[in-house]
Amino acid sequence: MTLMKSLMGAAASIALTAGAALAEPALIFDLGGKFDKSFNEAAFGGATRWAEETGGTFREIELQSEAQREQALRRFAEAGANPVITMGFAMADPLSAVAPDYPDTKFVAVDVNWLDTPNIRQIAFAEHEGSYLVGMMAAAASKSGTVGFVGGMDIPLIRHFGCGYAQGAKAVNPDINIVANMTGTTPAAWNDPVKGSELTKAQISQGADVVFAAAGGTGVGVLQTAADEGILSIGVDSNQNHLHPGKVLTSMLKRVDVAVYDAMKAGTEVETGVFTMGLAEDGVGYALDDNNAALVSADMKAAVDAAREKIISGDLKVVSYYENDSCPAVKF
Amino acid sequence: MMDFLTLIQVLDSTVRLATPLLLACLAGLYSERAGIFDIGLEGKMLMAAFFSAAVAAVTGSVWLGLLAGIASSLALSGLHGLASITFRGNQLISGVAINFLAAGLTVLIAQDWFQQGGRTPSLMGGGRFNAITLPFADSLAEVPALGPIYSELLSGHSILVYFAFLAVPATWWILYRTRFGLRLRAVGENPAAVDTAGVSVVGLRYAAVAICGLLCGIAGAYLATALQAGFVKDMTAGRGFIALAALIFAKWRPWQAMWACLLFGLLQAVALRFQNIDLGGVVIPVQVMDALPYILTVVILAGFVGKAIPPRAGGDPYVKER
């Protein structure tokens, strides 16, 4: 035990001195893990890009349990990492507890925008705007007049995605039928591709021929089943078009990588406050590449790009689910 | 609200969802009937799901994948047997350890082999179990009523589904009509009597645990290579525990196990298809449907509907002499 203690003490002091000397940025991944093919992996991609371009290094940790959130924050702050970047809305509470204790350290919180601590850069994404665009594409690509939405865990954020999607679909075809399902109400809903498959099959039997999956690992099952059954699917967060070339209509991009890259590039000078990354900031968007070029017609692209311009200029307003916890276009 | 075609589709979904439950449930049945409690069904399925998908992805052969899945599940069964039979450890603790071991190891190995964040590459072509179309399914599809039942419900599943449902009568026959089955049941009720008769308690229990591993392996392979095209971390998502609940619900009997699994599968299928169910003004939230298997099991355990009596020697390591 004493040996263990002294070893850990030594390790900690080494980490402390190293960190203080360099003031590296630190990145805390959420429970989904660094390689989730979506949210956290995008952050890792942004950090890697920064490291390759500048030759810098960054520290990182993949959280394994809820209890580690505050511990990881304190450890990085103590070690002199600056800025400390966190992923996911669940970091809000630990941040509001830890950040005031380290006024000289800058924190960056992705998916958080409701704290009033001065040394946090809070970045929220306008997911409903990006979802609106892919909703338009879904309605335009649908021949049956029915499109589907498969959410992961039933939380407001996922309803926020679904709400924007439904509004976009309704904008193209006011009579469209939207089938919206959630996988579950526990975190297991993020990793249940079998249930995702069954939901997709159920939606197909209700006539859906385009399905949008905002469901983490469950989405893998949705995209797979859609490809097997010969209908189109829409990926989320990262560009998932390559998973089934020619079968994935597009992906709703959430540019977490840009947010992380920018924060690391600004380094200790990073600007704090609340920031929203929407279409105007290229924080959200839709993916177009070789894998789906044949699926997106010129008309479809023109319509979506026009809507994008309108949303940016403020002529078109996409209602956010958060505004009054309900959606005008679809019932969950 | 529900027309005939919808009903068929829901039942079709029921069959797919019930199959992994049924395989795991029968696996647990062999083990528990021999007096070895096994809450590690979940872990064994998960391990098998990973190895079947990983080997199928590397070799391109789903049959090699199935074998690898079974082998990995058997290895965990061996571990459980070693801990709880040979070393007479606590069977529940060993089972919990297996669940944790599988949850961690699968992701760790997957990350090391494929660098895709704890998942395997998507399986293509021969790497998956494809649906089998039964003879004349297409031509009979037009026949009213019976046609859709045959072509939609009975046909078009993977071979593992048919295996799972054939395993039910086979299990019944083995348990109640063979010498091995009689001894297996006896070793779960009164191992001392079996020992007195000159039959090896340890041997029988290891055999039971091995059959359990075999069936769990097939269940895992079904999840990863038939229902899905690859492994995703924690993809069993609690199905091993629902299978345990089904086993108790069925009071450790094979035919009843099948009906219990079909019932639980039906509940899931209905929940997935209809989400919130509106019964003339009263809305049943989807969460109630998800929780029903556990609620029903508690009701059975509490003795409201008959009494669930587990094998008498279940959970006790057998000590030959004191």
Q: Which of A16-25, A315-324, B56-65 has the lowest mean pLDDT?
A: A16-25
Contact B162, B222 (CB under 8 A): no
The residue-averaged pLDDT of A75-92 equals 91
pLDDT of residue A7: 57
CATH level 3 topology of A2-126+257-277:
Rossmann fold (3.40.50)
Alpha-helical runs (H) found in A80-236: 92-98, 127-141, 156-172, 193-205, 218-229
Contact A189, A152 (CB under 8 A): yes
Contact B122, B230 (CB under 8 A): yes
pLDDT of residue B7: 87
| Calpha distance B8→A202 (Å, rounded) | 12
Asked if B13 lies within 8 A of A221 by C-beta distance, the reply is no
> Which residues share a beta bridge with A84?
A26, A107
Contact A125, A283 (CB under 8 A): yes
Q: Which of A170-184, B8-22, B261-275 has the lowest mean pLDDT?
A: B261-275
Contact B185, B17 (CB under 8 A): no
Mean pLDDT score of chain B: 89
* Binding-site residues on chain B for chain A (CB distance < 8 A): 5-6, 9, 13, 16-17, 20, 107, 111, 115-119, 122, 223, 227-230, 232-235, 237-238, 268-269, 272-273, 275, 286-287, 290
Strands A26-29 and A84-87: parallel
Asked if A224 lies within 8 A of B287 by C-beta distance, the reply is no
Asked if B237 lies within 8 A of A192 by C-beta distance, the reply is yes
Specify the long-range contacts of residues B268-276, CB closer than 8 Å, at least 24 apart: B268/A195, B268/A198, B268/B14, B268/B17, B269/A198, B269/B10, B269/B11, B269/B13, B269/B14, B269/B17, B270/B10, B272/A181, B272/A195, B272/A198, B272/A199, B272/A202, B272/B13, B273/A202, B273/B6, B273/B9, B273/B10, B273/B13, B275/A181, B275/A182
Q: Which of A10-24, A38-52, A127-141, B166-180 has the lowest mean pLDDT?
A: A10-24
The residue-averaged pLDDT of B50-66 equals 95
Mean pLDDT score of chain A: 89
Strand extents, DSSP E, chain A: 26-29, 59-62, 84-87, 107-110, 120-125, 146-153, 177-184, 210-214, 232-237, 248-254, 273-277, 284-286
pLDDT grade for A4, boundaries at 50, 70 and 90: low
Residue (of B54, B180, B158, B149) closest to B107 by Cα position: B54
Sign of the Cα torsion A286, A291, A296, A297 reads positive
| Calpha distance B254→A287 (Å, rounded) | 51
- The pLDDT tens digits of the residues spanning B82-94 come to 999 999 999 999 9
* Chain A residues with beta carbon closer than 8 angstroms to that of B264: none
User: Which tokens in the block code for residue A72?
Assistant: 């990881």
| Calpha distance B221→B53 (Å, rounded) | 7
The residue-averaged pLDDT of B61-90 equals 95
Q: Is B267 exposed, middle or buried (0-12, 13-18, 19+ CB in 10 A)?
A: buried
The residue-averaged pLDDT of A60-65 equals 86
Sign of the Cα torsion A47, A52, A58, A64 reads positive
| Calpha distance B17→B39 (Å, rounded) | 20
For residue B154, report the phi and psi dihedrals to the nearest 5 degrees: -85, -35
- The minimum CA-CA distance between B110 and chain A, rounded to whole Å, is 11
DSSP per position, B189-239: H-HHHHHHTT--HHHHHHHHHHHHHHHHHHHHHIIIIIISSS--TTTTTTH
Task: Work out the angle at residue A136's Cα, subtended by the Cα atoms of residues A130 and A141, and round it to the nearest 5 degrees.
Answer: 130
Look up residue A215 and give its DSSP letter.
Answer: -
| Calpha distance B308→B250 (Å, rounded) | 8
Q: Which CATH architecture has domain A128-252+285-324?
A: 3-Layer(aba) Sandwich (3.40)
Question: What's the length of chain A?
Answer: 332
Q: Please name the member of B118, B230, B237 whose beta carbon is closest to the beta carbon of A35.
A: B118
Residue (of A187, A189, A285) closest to A235 by Cα position: A285
Asked if B228 lies within 8 A of A221 by C-beta distance, the reply is yes
pLDDT of residue A6: 58
Asked if A182 lies within 8 A of B286 by C-beta distance, the reply is yes
Q: Is B310 exposed, middle or buried (0-12, 13-18, 19+ CB in 10 A)?
A: middle
pLDDT of residue A18: 46
User: What residue of A is the nearest CA neighbor of B220?
Assistant: A194
The Cα-based distances of B294 to A287, B38, B145, B161, B274 in angstroms read: 42, 17, 34, 24, 20
* Chain B residues with beta carbon closer than 8 angstroms to that of A193: 228, 232, 235
Taking each continuous run of H as one helix and of E as one strand, the counts in chain B are 13, 2
- The rounded Cα A18 to chain-centroid distance in angstroms is 32
Q: Which residues 6+ apart lie within 8 Å of A12 measured at CB?
A: none
- The minimum CA-CA distance between B53 and chain A, rounded to whole Å, is 14
Mutation pick from A31, A34, A194 vs chain B, by most beta carbons of B within 10 Å, is A194
Secondary structure of B179-191 in HEC code, one letter for each residue: HHHHHHHHHHHCH
pLDDT of residue A9: 56
pLDDT of residue B48: 97
| Calpha distance A6→B33 (Å, rounded) | 51
Provide the residue type at A77 as one letter.
A
Look up residue A101 and give its DSSP letter.
Answer: G
Specify the long-range contacts of residues B291-298, CB closer than 8 Å, at least 24 apart: B292/B267, B293/B242, B293/B245, B293/B246, B293/B249, B293/B264, B293/B267, B294/B242, B294/B245, B296/B245, B296/B249, B297/B245, B297/B246, B297/B248, B297/B249
Question: Where do the CATH 3.40.50.2300 domains begin and end in chain A?
Answer: 2-126+257-277, 128-252+285-324
- The pLDDT tens digits of the residues spanning B110-137 come to 988 988 777 888 888 788 888 888 887 7
pLDDT of residue B27: 97
Q: Tell me if residue B279 falls in helix, strand or coil.
A: strand
Give the containing element (helix H, strand E) for B41. Answer: helix B41-59
Q: Please name the member of A191, A197, A220 whose beta carbon is closest to the beta carbon of B227.
A: A197
Q: Tell me if residue A80 falls in helix, strand or coil.
A: coil
Asked if B117 lies within 8 A of A37 by C-beta distance, the reply is yes
pLDDT higher at B168 or B10: B168
Q: Please name the member of B117, B223, B275 whose beta carbon is closest to the beta carbon of A34.
A: B117
Alpha-helical runs (H) found in B235-310: 239-249, 254-274, 286-301
- The pLDDT tens digits of the residues spanning B206-227 come to 999 999 999 999 999 999 999 9
pLDDT of residue B273: 80
The residue-averaged pLDDT of A59-75 equals 90
Asked if A193 lies within 8 A of B228 by C-beta distance, the reply is yes
* pLDDT at A307 > cutoff 70: yes
Give the containing element (helix H, strand E) for B48. Answer: helix B41-59
User: What residue of A is the nearest CA neighbor of B5?
Assistant: A205
Q: Please name the member of B117, B228, B269 whose beta carbon is closest to the beta carbon of A35.
A: B117
* Chain A residues with beta carbon closer than 8 angstroms to that of B232: 191, 193, 217, 220-221
pLDDT of residue A21: 46
| Calpha distance A243→A220 (Å, rounded) | 9
User: What residue of B is the nearest CA neighbor of A207?
Assistant: B6
Peptide bond into B135 cis (omega under 30): no
| Calpha distance B114→B93 (Å, rounded) | 31
* pLDDT at A12 > cutoff 70: no
Predicted TM-score of the model (pTM): 0.83
The Cα-based distances of B255 to B57, B176, B212, B229, B252 in angstroms read: 35, 12, 17, 30, 9
The Cα-based distances of A44 to A62, A238, B207, B258 in angstroms read: 11, 11, 48, 46
- The pLDDT tens digits of the residues spanning A126-177 come to 999 999 999 999 999 999 999 999 999 888 889 999 999 999 999 999 999 9
- The minimum CA-CA distance between A29 and chain B, rounded to whole Å, is 13
Mutation pick from B235, B236, B286, B288 vs chain A, by most beta carbons of A within 10 Å, is B235
Contact B95, B37 (CB under 8 A): yes
Asked if A224 lies within 8 A of B119 by C-beta distance, the reply is no
